[in-house]
Chain A
Amino acid sequence: MLSFIGRTLVQKLLTLFLVSIVSFLIIHLAPGKPSQANPLNPKFTPEMVARFNKAFHLDDPLYLQYYYFYKGLFTGNTRSWKDNQPVLGKIWKRFLNSLPLFIVGTLLTWTLSFPVGIRSAIRRGGLYDRSATLISYFLISIPGFFFAYILIICVVEWLHVPVIGMETFGLSHAHWPTLIMDRIWHLVLPSVLGATSGIALLSRYVRGQMLEVQGQDYIRTARAKGLSSEAVYYRHALRNALLPFVTMFGLILPGLIGGSVIIESIFSWPGMGRMAYEAILARDYPVILTLNFISAVLVLIGTFISDILYMAVDPRIRL
């Protein structure tokens, strides 16, 4: 067990190192230079460009630039090229904005998809199952922003509540119940939209797992000894079907930073996805690279946790 953990850790660190190189290369080998971000700006004289290049080591060879960047990252000194703010501070602020979206979205996904998936599996081929299947394919197939616009139109026309941004502008002097309701209304649509494809996919997966388990011998045994169907489904089948999902808890982690670029753009939500988008537009390499690095770390931690959980849950797996 310990040797497995040690081996995995070394492997993950190696992967992380390679990821840092690859992402650095992708960004720096792409055509165009950050100093050319706005060639039409009259203030951007050649002297400015030279100063800019010097300040950010852009004239140095790539391996030195790589060294400077990651040294800065680990000592917390990386600064954004756009506004010279510390990158980690900027990201932290945006992270706090994205966090409620992520939490509500994840809760919605995990609380809705299990009942739907289990019910579909129990009534396989019935009306409920078929309509749930069709609806989930529908949700997977619809372009996210098209769906968002339809929902925005419906909500604004029928419920007359504000949906764009994190809070209504100029409402800061209202009483606290109004404030809280305002925040909640702003939170609902983006988190529902963020959760739709997750709900659709996860409920299909739950259904598949339940069906897989239902074909097993111990289920037949449980039925044969005369257990009620509730006991068979919820005590015998569900527990075994849940096994793979325990490991999926680890895989939620990367979602923390992925933050949907599209949804945050539609709703003008000042979260991390939007920050990434703005950084890409501005060619703000330190921000892009830092976000990439953090997300790689989260992916690796996530897979590590899921490996460990899998070993903890499934006694058959002992590496």
Chain B
Amino acid sequence: MTAATEQPLAPAAMLETAAAPAQSRFQAFWHLFRQNRMAVIGLVVFLLFFGVALAGLVLTSGDHPVFNPALIRLQEKLRPPLSRAHVKRLTPDEIPPFGIYLFGTDDLGRDVFARMLQGAWVSLTVGFVAVGISVVIGIFLGGIAGYYPRIDALIMRLVDIMLCFPSFFLILTVVALLPASLYNIMIVIGLTSWMGTTRFVRAEFLALREQDFVSAARALGVGDLRIIFRHILPNAVAPVLVSATIGIATAILTEAGLSFLGFGVPPPHATWGNILADGKEFIFDAPWLTFIPGTAILVVVLAFNLFGEGLRDVLNPRLRERG
């Protein structure tokens, strides 16, 4: 991650102004990023998703949520999207906001829109926490392996061992053996997906370790940990950022796959994965139960992937020069 676009200044001006780049690093980054239209779309969808997830958290929690995702109305089951609620058959508490089922209802008469709102937050949490765990482990192990040649072989052996397990099979095994809970799923996905990050970070560290600024820091007597985390890590963070973005997409897909096999996040939490998995039994009678969460997952995962690839292009100086 080098600050690439420093504008040349006239010698006279150079004396008067501080010799800082005319563009900040972020401006330079944004300028490049904006040219990749698909990545910008990805970023916009990502921000929208984040907003929806936050709104979902606020609107569906508490004692009297605006949208109640857990309210069962058996007399209103499998209503198609945009249908009006039969107000006379419901108690005042049960009437959905505006008297309309925006995304229809499921087989228990729960409001799918409310469930999607709640699920957005849960899916987002699953993605972020799982990736957070794997990134922390990856940076720590990769950094140590790249910085201390002695420990390197040991940690790389550990990576080799972990890579010998078929990942989805391993996740499935552990999730099936552990008691079902939201946290277990996040932790297991995180603990089984740090190998890629470790390798990236190690590779970056191996190259950066030999650079002059590291020797300078060492000559000044800076401690190893400070060199690793304050001096080298900021320079090695670009590929981590990219793989984390794509990792969130993968984690959301993995959660959906686990839900499909019956090992996903257990009720009462709704996730997009388990709404989709529950909907499969009604695919002909109530296709919206499949298509709404399916499309939502597709759009969000696509956005994360596009944004991640855009980041990769912008942050990769080699590709940038050629582009």
* Distance of A230 from chain B, by nearest CB (Å): 23
Q: Are A296 and B165 in contact (CB under 8 A)?
A: yes
Interface segment out of the listed A16-24, A46-54, A104-112: A16-24
Q: Are B157 and A15 in contact (CB under 8 A)?
A: yes
- Chain B residues contacting A150 (CB-CB under 8 Å) are 294
Q: Are A280 and B176 in contact (CB under 8 A)?
A: yes
Q: Are A146 and B177 in contact (CB under 8 A)?
A: no
Interface segment out of the listed A185-193, A255-263, A308-316: A255-263
Q: Are B161 and A19 in contact (CB under 8 A)?
A: yes
Which of A134, A141, A299 has most chain B Cβ within 10 Å?
Answer: A141
The residue of chain B having its C-beta at the shortest distance from the C-beta of A26 within the complex is: B174
B49 within 8 A of A: no
Assuming the contacts A15-B164, A146-B276, A262-B257, asked whether A281 and B176 have C-beta atoms less than 8 A apart, the reply is yes
Interface segment out of the listed B26-34, B202-210, B295-303: B295-303
A19 contact from B164, B178, B277, Cβ within 8 A: B164
**Residues 158-211 of B at the A interface (beta carbon under 8 Å):** 160-161, 163-166, 168-170, 172-174, 176-179
A31 within 8 A of B: yes
Q: Are B166 and A149 in contact (CB under 8 A)?
A: no
Q: Are A145 and B283 in contact (CB under 8 A)?
A: no
* Distance of A94 from chain B, by nearest CB (Å): 14
A205 within 8 A of B: no
Assuming the contacts A261-B261, A277-B172, asked whether A146 and B290 have C-beta atoms less than 8 A apart, the reply is yes
The residue of chain A having its C-beta at the shortest distance from the C-beta of B263 within the complex is: A280
Q: Are A261 and B276 in contact (CB under 8 A)?
A: no
A288 within 8 A of B: yes
A295 within 8 A of B: yes
A27 within 8 A of B: yes
* Distance of B319 from chain A, by nearest CB (Å): 9
Q: Determine the distance from Cα of A133 to Cα of B309 in the docked complex, in whole angstroms.
A: 11
* Distance of A135 from chain B, by nearest CB (Å): 11
Q: Are B177 and A149 in contact (CB under 8 A)?
A: no
* Distance of A126 from chain B, by nearest CB (Å): 15
B306 within 8 A of A: yes
A213 within 8 A of B: no
Q: Are A142 and B169 in contact (CB under 8 A)?
A: no
**Residues 134-154 of A at the B interface (beta carbon under 8 Å):** 134, 137-138, 140-146, 149-150, 153
Q: Are B172 and A143 in contact (CB under 8 A)?
A: no
- Chain A residues contacting B260 (CB-CB under 8 Å) are 143, 145, 262, 265
A80 within 8 A of B: no
Q: Number of residues in A with C-beta < 8 Å to the partner? A: 45
Q: Determine the distance from Cα of A276 to Cα of B170 in the docked complex, in whole angstroms.
A: 10
Which of A32, A146, A299 has most chain B Cβ within 10 Å?
Answer: A146
A86 within 8 A of B: no
Q: Are B169 and A258 in contact (CB under 8 A)?
A: yes
A276 contact from B38, B169, B290, Cβ within 8 A: B169
- Chain A residues contacting B72 (CB-CB under 8 Å) are none
**Residues 269-319 of A at the B interface (beta carbon under 8 Å):** 276-277, 280-281, 283, 288, 291-292, 295-296, 299-300
* Distance of A204 from chain B, by nearest CB (Å): 9
A39 within 8 A of B: no
Q: Tally of A-B residue pairs with Cβ under 8 A?
A: 112
**Residues 263-312 of B at the A interface (beta carbon under 8 Å):** 273, 276-277, 280, 283, 290, 294, 297-298, 301-302, 305-306, 309
Q: Are A300 and B173 in contact (CB under 8 A)?
A: no
* Distance of B47 from chain A, by nearest CB (Å): 18
Q: Are A143 and B164 in contact (CB under 8 A)?
A: no
- Chain A residues contacting B38 (CB-CB under 8 Å) are 133-134
Q: Are A262 and B261 in contact (CB under 8 A)?
A: yes
Q: Determine the distance from Cα of A258 to Cα of B166 in the docked complex, in whole angstroms.
A: 6
* Contact bitstring B16-39, A, C-beta under 8 A = 1, else 0: 000000000000000000000010
Q: Determine the distance from Cα of A32 to Cα of B176 in the docked complex, in whole angstroms.
A: 11
Q: Are A143 and B294 in contact (CB under 8 A)?
A: yes
Q: Determine the distance from Cα of A32 to Cα of B178 in the docked complex, in whole angstroms.
A: 8
* Distance of A265 from chain B, by nearest CB (Å): 7
Q: Are B164 and A300 in contact (CB under 8 A)?
A: yes
Q: Are B164 and A295 in contact (CB under 8 A)?
A: yes
B290 contact from A133, A149, A265, Cβ within 8 A: A149
The residue of chain B having its C-beta at the shortest distance from the C-beta of A134 within the complex is: B38
* Distance of A310 from chain B, by nearest CB (Å): 17
A254 within 8 A of B: yes
Q: Determine the distance from Cα of A277 to Cα of B301 in the docked complex, in whole angstroms.
A: 26
Q: Are A15 and B160 in contact (CB under 8 A)?
A: yes
- Chain B residues contacting A265 (CB-CB under 8 Å) are 260-261
Q: Are B177 and A295 in contact (CB under 8 A)?
A: no
Q: Are B157 and A138 in contact (CB under 8 A)?
A: no
A226 within 8 A of B: no
22 A–B contacts, CB within 8 A, in A order: A14-B157, A15-B157, A19-B164, A27-B177, A30-B174, A31-B178, A137-B306, A141-B298, A143-B256, A143-B273, A143-B298, A143-B301, A146-B297, A149-B283, A257-B166, A261-B168, A261-B261, A277-B172, A281-B176, A292-B166, A296-B164, A300-B164
User: Which 9 residue pairs are nearest across A and B when measured between Cβ atoms?
Assistant: A30-B177, A146-B294, A296-B164, A141-B301, A141-B302, A143-B256, A19-B164, A258-B166, A280-B176
Q: Which residues of B contact A (CB under 8 A)?
A: 38, 157, 160-161, 163-166, 168-170, 172-174, 176-179, 249, 253, 256-257, 260-261, 273, 276-277, 280, 283, 290, 294, 297-298, 301-302, 305-306, 309, 322
For the A-B complex with A19-B165, A292-B165 known, give 12 more contacts whose Cβ atoms are closer than 8 Å: A18-B157, A18-B161, A22-B161, A26-B170, A137-B306, A141-B298, A142-B297, A143-B260, A262-B257, A292-B166, A296-B164, A300-B164
